[in-house]
Amino acid sequence: MPETRRLRADIDLAAVRSNVRALRGRLTGGAALMAVVKADAYGHGLLPCARAARAAGAGWLGAATPEEALALRAAGDTGRVLCWLWVPGGPWRSAVEADIDVSVSARWALAEAVAAARAAGRPARIHLKVDTGLGRGGCPPADWADLTAAARAAEAEGAVLVAGVWSHLARADEPGDPSIAAQEEAFAEALAVAERAGLRPEVRHLANSPALLTLPATHYDLVRAGIAVYGVSPSPEVGTPEDFGLRPAMTLRATLAGVKRMPGGHGVSYGHRYTTPGDTTLALIPAGYADGIPRHASGTGPVLVAGKWRTVAGTVAMDQFVVDLGGDAAEAGDEALLFGPGDHGEPTVEDWARATGTIGYEIVTRIGARVPRVHHGDEDRRAEAAS
């Protein structure tokens, strides 16, 4: 039984389900929803979140690594799963045998998929990925005609089924950025090239969470939503979770490991980057960068303790940090809320992102393996199913 007193992440699966429903409600043109559950469901726990997303009607699940996709199958998930981060020599055959859709961005990957299909004795379902401007993964436009033609030839032989054509946006979280329209246009062109090659993909997909929320024209047949499923905003420019009826699923809470009175002028934590301004009360929070609390939160991270927001005093250490309660009282064993939906006045993931110069994605995803995830809300699902 993991120790849940020191620090734990409570995960509200009812929120995951309600977010998936809210997101489905925003889809246009009959598009389906893929809940992206890579990176342990953005730190929220792969399997419980995958089950919650399915229960709320996610027709697809999205994984980065094959291990993530195979873990879904090992746990009994039988729905459509796309896995997109491949290397030569990866477990292509296992994926094909497990009926996982695989992404292909280059001729070497197509060759791997074809070989895996032959070994497995069944066609590989592939999604051809084009780089429409992100400049990261995906087939460059110059090679796209060649890749689509080769995929069509492999399809004609029965080695692959081209189930999808897809791409990824670079700046959907910056509404109005001109790169968005340029990528939309490049994607339309890439689809036309694929069609001329004779491909008739079941799903064309381009949109992530911010595009789902703000760019209906990008929805096509399928939308890959990650961060919004967990009730976190893609960016302040897109809006707050509440703007879209989304509820944050993760609450990070700690138990105070100590409270002490200290004199003024006393240095606090490594490097003495904070000095007590006068006689004061310091509280010790047993959470550190080994738990995914960014060291960048030193002097900036917000925490609700004894009814008020406090700021990390001095340096975040590996396992602990300090907050200054001033004249307020608390005792060892009291609760500290680092972030959550805000119901009790606690900071949100977005507040942590702002305070540490990063994005909400990184705050939740980096919560470490040492922090137990305690899932709630499955009971409601059973009740919903029974009613």
The catalytic residues are: 38, 270
CA atoms within 13 A on the CB side of 279: 3
Q: How far is the CB of 36 from ligand PLP (least distance, A)?
A: 4
Q: How far is the CB of 173 from ligand PLP (least distance, A)?
A: 7
Residue 106 near residue 128, CB atoms below 8 Å? no
Applying CB under 6 A, among 164, 226, 248, 314 the residue interacting with ligand PLP is 226
Q: How far is the CB of 230 from ligand PLP (least distance, A)?
A: 8
Which CA distances in Å does 328 have to 130, 287, 313, 325, 361? Answer: 57, 21, 15, 5, 33
Q: Record the tokens describing residue 239, joined without a space.
A: 């809006």
| String of contacts with ligand PLP for each residue 160-199, x by CB under 6 A | --------x-------------------------------
Q: Does 204 bind ligand PLP (CB under 6 A)?
A: no
Q: Is 97 helix (H, G, I), strand (E, B) or coil?
A: helix
> Which residues on adjacent β-strands are paired with residue 93?
none
Applying CB under 6 A, among 54, 125, 204, 224 the residue interacting with ligand PLP is 224
Q: Record the tokens describing residue 198, joined without a space.
A: 């004779």
> Closest CB to ligand PLP among 125 and 310?
125
Give the DSSP per-residue string, 209-243.
HHHHHH-GGG-TTEEEE-GGGGT--S-TTT--TGG
Residue 142 host element (H or E): helix 141-156
Applying CB under 6 A, among 11, 15, 36, 355 the residue interacting with ligand PLP is 36
| String of contacts with ligand PLP for each residue 77-106, x by CB under 6 A | -------x----------------------
Distance from the Cα of residue 289 to its chain's centroid: 20
> Closest CB to ligand PLP among 55 and 227?
227
Residue 57 near residue 85, CB atoms below 8 Å? no
Which residues between 274 and 293 bind ligand PLP (CB under 6 A)? none
Chain residue whose CB lies nearest ligand PLP = 226
The residue among 228, 230, 209 whose CA lies nearest residue 9 is 230
**Which residues does the annotation place in the binding site?**
136, 318
The residues of the shown chain that bind ligand PLP, judged by CB under 6 A, are 36, 84, 168, 208-209, 224-228, 234
